[in-house]
Amino acid sequence: MSYTFDAVIKNQLGIHARIAALLAKTVSKYDAEAYILFHGDKINIKHLIDVISLSITQNSIVEINVEGKDAAECSKELQYLIENSFGEMS
């Protein structure tokens, strides 16, 4: 099963180390692989340094693709995290 969604990164600092780690930790809980697509690059979310190197800033639009047995649940949790600015904005 595969799920894809677009998301706007709303938090002020974009995707930095803490957020990249949170994304990787979230995906690791599931039997799934997740990828972030940005400016033509497709990066496995579990690869922290590669995700950080994308330099995703505030208001950037990214595509998230989740594949695997638990793709639906993983996708749902990733969407929640992104929509709620990873808990960084009140």
Active site residues: 16
Distance CA 17, CA 14 (A): 10
